[in-house]
Amino acid sequence: MNKKSLKDVLKTQTAVRDDFAYFSDQTEKLKSHLPEADKQVFELFNHSEVKELLDFTQSDKQKAVLRAMLKEPSVKRVAIINDDVLQTLDGLEDQFPNFSEVISLCKTSLLLSSLEQPGIIQLPPMLLAGPPGLGKTLFMHTLASKLGTDFYSLDMSTASSGFVINGGNCSWADSKPGFISDSLRKSRFANPVIMLDEVDKVTGSSQFDPLAPFYSLLEAHTARRFVDEYIEVPMNASAVMWVATANEPELIPAPILSRMHIVDIPQPTRSQARKIAQSVYTGLLKANPWGKHFAPYLNEHALEKLATLPPRQMKHCLKVAMGQSVQRSGGKYRPIIITHKDIRPDIRDSSEQRGMGFLAKI
């Protein structure tokens, strides 16, 4: 090794030691200055273990990730139960009436958690079972938002091996950290909601089973020392709130099913479908600046026609209908009212884009 390269190595080692000392000090300050209500924090990983592996590893790719982790706080706050969370869940039941059993399970879990202060938001691992198009993903995303925590989802139908979940060996050419460690590092909280979508459609050999990491991740006592195979530093995933979705739960391995609370999501009744349609419409009005130009409520005929559609299709159909109503009225009258004739379930993507273009006229 020449003199210049030795100098560079020593300089790098000094920088790493400085980063380690600085962020270890910042971590302790964060713990000591938290308000009393927020003092429940989780140590996501240990800076000392990161530093130890950084001194040992020969992989430049792994070193880059470990150096980044030394610059990250090793502790995360947990999302805490607030005073109006149960009332918030009541409102969620109005928005997703066919998810009442899931909401009831969430309320029970939160009531138990609230017995200890600070009340940490905790939900049992859940499997939402039901046919496609019921809005399971939208419901969980909305639930996480109402609970005040972060939400991450992974399409398990595209996961062909466990490497996607818990990383691949850093010596392999195309390897990288897995979805779980990435989500934990990005999340503002130690207890995000992580959804495994279409877990019944997992493909892969027994040697590279994508579900293998969850035999330990779904058990809190083993999830405390989750190890991403790329990073190789234990991470605390015990506070993660897990939810999976499936159309055919009987295809899921029994050991995974035994670790989850299975909730069957029914097709909404006609009355519930009308509520869902109005909720989807209200969401579109609030999410777009042009929403203020439309009538706040759908009329009876429009609701009745939308109630025949699966919840997933309602949003796409309503976007088309809103564009159609602007075209029909020429954008001259306020508020713009959607009629049942504007609702065209047969119109798909290309027509949807054309219909939405008319909203530029209002």
Do 287 and 323 belong to one domain? yes
In the predicted model, is pLDDT for residue 26 greater than 80? no
Q: What is the CATH number of the domain that holds 251?
A: 3.40.50.300
At 199-210, the pLDDT tens digits run 999 876 556 788
Mutual angle of helices 100-113 and 85-95, in 10-degree steps: 170
- Arithmetic mean of pLDDT over the chain: 84
25 within domain boundaries = yes
Residue 188 and residue 205 in one domain: yes
Domain of 168 in residue numbering reads as 85-264
How many beta carbons lie within 10 A of that of residue 271, not counting itself? 10
pLDDT tier, 281 (very low <50, low <70, confident <90, very high otherwise):
very high
Which of 294, 266, 274 lies closest to 362, judged by CA? 294
Would you tell me how many other CB atoms lie within 10 Å of the CB of residue 48? Answer: 11
Does one domain contain both 260 and 282?
Answer: no
pLDDT tens by residue, 54-81? 999 888 899 999 999 999 999 999 999 9
What pLDDT, on a 0 to 100 scale, did the predictor assign at position 41? 81
In the chain, count H helices and then E strands. Answer: 15, 9
Indicate if 21 and 129 belong to the same structural domain. Answer: no
Give the closest residue to 95 by CA, choosing from 143, 133, 130. Answer: 143
| Same structural domain, 223 and 92 | yes
10-14, 158-162, 294-298: which is most confident: 294-298
Q: Are residues 147 and 191 in the same domain?
A: yes
The answer to whether residues 117 and 213 belong to one domain is yes
Both 118 and 259 in one domain: the answer is yes
Total tally of structural domains belonging to the chain: 3
- pLDDT-derived band of residue 359, with 50, 70 and 90 as boundaries? low
- Do 117 and 241 reside in the same domain of the chain? yes
Q: Within this chain, do residues 279 and 238 fall inside the same structural domain, yes or no? A: no
Let me know whether 317 and 181 are in one domain.
Answer: no
Residue 80, domain member (yes or no): no
Per residue in 166-219, pLDDT (tens digit) is 888 888 877 899 999 999 999 999 999 999 999 999 876 556 788 989 999 999
Mean pLDDT of 2-20: 47
Q: Name the band, by pLDDT with cuts 50, 70 and 90, for residue 354.
A: very low
Our CA dihedral for 165, 169, 183, 78, rounded to 10 degrees, sits at 100
Domain shared by 260 and 135, yes or no: yes
